[in-house]
Amino acid sequence: MKQNNEIISGITTRIKSLSPDFTKAETKVAQYIMQHSEEVPFLSVYEVSSAVDVSVASVSRFVRRIGFSNFKDFKVELAKDSGTQVPDIYRAITPGDNNEEIVKKVFRGYVHSIEETLKILDVKNLIQVARILCRAGRVVLFGIGGSGIVAQDAALRLSHLDLQAEAYTDPLYIIIQARRMKKGDVVVGVSHSGRTRITCEAVRLAGQKGAITCGITNYMKAPLSNYTRYLFCTSFPEDKVKVAALSSRIAQLCIIDALYLLTAKNKDILWDTESLNRLTEQLLRLD
């Protein structure tokens, strides 16, 4: 059976994204494949199961879990993926790193994150959401902490397109606004982990009220995915850098920027942004 290119794009990225929901056996298979990605395309399913010490059925379930109908198709695409895979240039920041090494690791990490996010981004759905936004009654974004900052930035950008866009980061306001959503509105939950309880609950409530639900997260099978019609995944190797501030924020903003530009392209009437910018500049002057 021929696989969907959007599903198989960036196999290693997809494995990382789905890893939190793997069974113990699937985790062992995933770790082996990540460590031996150049060798696995030349092995049989029996050889992999033997090397990992799991059943053949476990290996077969693993490849189906990540979007393939059989191990043979998986190997073909893994060979392609391994051939273009970039080296592991983003290793953990350590106390022994000098200033230059820290700067390079941060920049290289974000570049790699954006590239990997693009591999798994569902562009067709992003275009569809942009068209929906053009006729939405309200666009409401929810997020906590760093994700809240991204939500606020997105609301500001969409407001420039003369959309009723709002962002809420306080738990009480989030729940109140979720209950006010209705048919024709769009809600976007932003959560790096996809497990932020208040964000998931707000998106669920908004969906019950008839709103079109969207989510931005780093994990495809996170709880947030259960409540969203459209889910967009970032790819950030958070296991590499143990600093909360270094999340998938840059990749999230790339998705927001792409959505903003797609919406602008599809909207029939736009504000005169130049006059808006001039007015804002005048109002912000101190002299």
d(CA 168, CA 137): 17
User: What is the average pLDDT across 145-157?
Assistant: 94
The reply to whether 119-272 shares the fold of 5-84 is no
Q: Is 70 exceeded by the pLDDT of residue 273?
A: no
Condensed to tens digits (0 to 9), the pLDDT of residues 90-145 reads 456 777 888 998 888 888 878 888 888 888 899 999 999 999 999 999 999 999 98
Q: Would you list the domain boundaries of the chain? A: 5-84, 119-272
Q: Give the rounded distance of the alpha carbon of 108 from its chain centre.
A: 18
User: What is the average pLDDT across 2-21?
Assistant: 63
Quick one: tokens of 276?
A: 């808006």
The backbone region for 162, taken as left when phi is positive above 0, alpha when psi lies in -120 to 50, beta otherwise, is left
Give me the helices (H) in 9-145, please. 11-18, 24-35, 45-52, 56-65, 71-84, 99-120, 123-134
% of the chain residues with pLDDT over 70: 83
CATH top class, domain 5-84 = mainly alpha
Spatial contact of 194 and 178, defined as CB atoms under 8 Å apart: no
More confident residue, 181 or 108: 181
pLDDT range class, residue 85, cuts 50, 70, 90: very low
Condensed to tens digits (0 to 9), the pLDDT of residues 186-220 reads 999 999 989 999 999 999 999 999 999 999 998 88
CATH architecture assignment, domain 119-272: 3-Layer(aba) Sandwich (3.40)
Report helix angle 249-266 to 99-120, nearest 10: 40
Q: Residue 80: its pLDDT value, please?
A: 65
More confident residue, 101 or 168: 168
User: What is the average pLDDT across 268-278?
Assistant: 69
Nearest to 186 by CA among 219, 161, 149: 161
Q: Residue 286: its pLDDT value, please?
A: 60
